[in-house]
Amino acid sequence: MTASQDHTDTSASIPPEEKRSGRDLLIVNISDMKLSSKPEDVIVTYSLGSCLGVTAYDPVVKVGGMIHCLLPNASGARGKSRNNPYMFVNTGVAMMVRQLMDKGAERGRLVFMAAGGANMRNDTLFNTGLRNFEALEKLLSRNKVSLTSKQVGGTIPRTMFLYLDTGRVVVRSFGKETDL
Amino acid sequence: MTRREEILNTISGVVAVPSCSHKAAGMLGDPSINFQALARMVTHDPGLTANLLKVVNASFFGGTGRPLLTVDEATLKLGSTQYLQFVISTGVAPTFVQKIEGYDLAPNMHTQHSVTVGMVARELARVLGVDAPDYTFTAGLLSGIGKTLLGGYVDIEVQPILDLALKEGLSFDQAEDEVLGINHAELGAMVLESWGLPEEIVRVVRFHLRPEEYEGVDVVLDLVHMGNVLAKMIGVGLGVDGLNYVPSHTVAERLGLKPEHMDMVMANVVIELESIHDLFIECAEPPI
């Protein structure tokens, strides 16, 4: 596993102990990112509320990463992006892609998927989940990239898995798993 | 007997709230016990805090003085020796539960969520420049305590509750009302009230999901309501109820809360949570 470098892991989220098919999991906390090129690895992030989980995977060199972003950008939380780039969609996803390319991935081959971005019921006040997803769409569009698959919105919590051997992405909610 | 009556009958016998207390019990067995470390643990554990406030506000300790609203106040009142006796007297180890059924919450997840609500309420006050009393954190910490008591009933009826929430568009607490005849906020408040906890805290617990049902204006209630909303959006300790609660426009307007405030508070709290990371790990460890 190659953990992300030069960032502060700011999450206190302690997930339940778990293995996937006997494999240990690389856990992505809130405002965190992990990447790996080991086929036996599975990357996971738990408890996505309005946060957005994004995966990027190169199926040729089989390197991939996952990020768990709290907010769309640092405009409302000025000064936070320097020490916590993965807290924000606009800075974090770009940094994840750069690190994947450092590991041999090619930008044109990367497969992007997203999950999370939920909102409170009847929330017309904040729409953080929606703002997070819109920030991702804007970023990808600017780079002429599109999402291959997504499961976003609604009011449900989600857990997201990325299998490094195949690039398979699974979303779990209420105990039910769905392939993206 | 209605379901509500059945639940209230059962809950009336509850003498202590489940907590992450096996660690505290273990600390008591250590001759070099660190009192400050123990106090820090109690401060960040909803079950231990509730049990402590129950003890200190009982007539034996309370006397004719004003109600005690925070762990710090309770600690000053009791002094260290009695404080330790309190922890022992709550019979801590047997009250530990592996999981809060119904809400699909491991104990450490409930603790994380509760602490996050308290932190967000406190941080909201700071960012908004609101002069909030010290018990704002305590009220937030205890706001969801009814889940630890109602969870067994929610577990049995979780599918009809979820159906009402996800298919009929009810909030989770409204769905609890429909199916069980009571919701976890009301139940938590009733239990804390019966224990003699101060009205200021009981009120927040009772109305934190529906602040508009409170006829007055209470800034702590407003802060904790929004604290609960933001904690769920952050996602720390989310259970099966997910984000199925309705944020109050009235409260947002009253507080002058805007998305940029919210972003700042969420970012600050996620960073602050790192400072108590160790407590959540300790709580996640199963009792020996």
Query: Among partner residues B106, B108, B263, which is closest to A77 by beta-carbon distance?
Result: B263
Rounded to the nearest angstrom, the gap between the alpha carbon of residue B270 and the centroid of all alpha carbons in its chain is 18
Q: Which two tokens stand for residue B78?
A: 């009791």
pLDDT at position B16: 63
Q: How far is B55 from chain A (nearest CA, A)?
A: 30
Rounded to the nearest angstrom, the gap between the alpha carbon of residue A35 and the centroid of all alpha carbons in its chain is 10
Task: Indicate the fold that domain A2-9+20-175 takes in CATH.
Answer: 60s Ribosomal Protein L30; Chain: A; (3.30.1330)
Cα separation, A154 vs A130, in Å, equals 10
Is it the case that residue B139 has pLDDT exceeding 60?
yes
B270 and A CB contact within 8 Å:
yes
Nearest to A63 by CA among A95, A30, A97: A97
pLDDT at position A14: 42
The DSSP string of A67-131 is EEESBS-GGGSTT-TTT-GGGBHHHHHHHHHHHHHHTT--GGGPEEEEEE----TT--S--HHHH
- The mean per-residue pLDDT over the stretch B106-121 comes to 85
Annotated catalytic residue within A26, A30, A51, A180: A51
Of residues A89 and A24, the one with the higher pLDDT is A89
Task: Indicate the fold that domain B3-95 takes in CATH.
Answer: Hypothetical protein af1432 (1.10.3210)
- Write the single-letter amino acid at B171: S
Cα separation, B287 vs B285, in Å, equals 7
Listed by start position, the domains of chain B span 3-95, 107-281
Tell me the average pLDDT of chain B.
81
Residues forming beta bridges with residue A25, ordered by sequence position: A42
The DSSP string of B222-240 is HHHHHHHHHHHHHTTT--T
Chosen for mutation from B263, B268, B272, B281 (greatest number of chain A CBs closer than 10 Å) is B263
Listed by start position, the domains of chain A span 2-9+20-175
Q: Which two tokens stand for residue B156?
A: 């049995």
Give the CATH superfamily of B107-281: Hypothetical protein af1432 (1.10.3210.10)
Q: What backbone phi and psi angles, to 5 degrees, belong to B260?
A: -70, -35
CB contacts of A123 in chain B (<8 Å) are 246-247
* A13 with B235: Cβ contact below 8 A: yes
Check for a shared fold between B3-95 and B107-281: yes
Cα separation, B125 vs B134, in Å, equals 11
pTM of the model: 0.85
The DSSP string of A148-160 is SEEEE-SS--EEE
CB contacts of A116 in chain B (<8 Å) are 235
Q: Tokens 């609890």 — which residue?
A: B176
Maximum distance among all alpha carbons in chain B?
56
Of residues A179 and A9, the one with the higher pLDDT is A179
Chain B: residue whose CA lies nearest to A122: B246
pLDDT tens-digit readout, B166-201: 899 999 999 999 999 999 999 999 988 888 889 999
pLDDT at position A10: 35
* A156 with B242: Cβ contact below 8 A: yes
The verdict on whether A69 is a catalytic residue reads: no
pLDDT tens-digit readout, A23-82: 778 999 999 999 999 999 999 998 899 999 999 999 999 999 999 999 999 887 777 777
Q: How far is B167 from chain A (nearest CA, A)?
A: 11
Q: Tokens 């933001």 — which residue?
A: B230
Chosen for mutation from A9, A31, A125 (greatest number of chain B CBs closer than 10 Å) is A125
pLDDT at position B61: 53
Maximum distance among all alpha carbons in chain A?
44
Is it the case that residue A170 has pLDDT exceeding 80?
yes
> CB pairs below 8 Å between A and B: how many?
140
- The mean per-residue pLDDT over the stretch B99-105 comes to 66
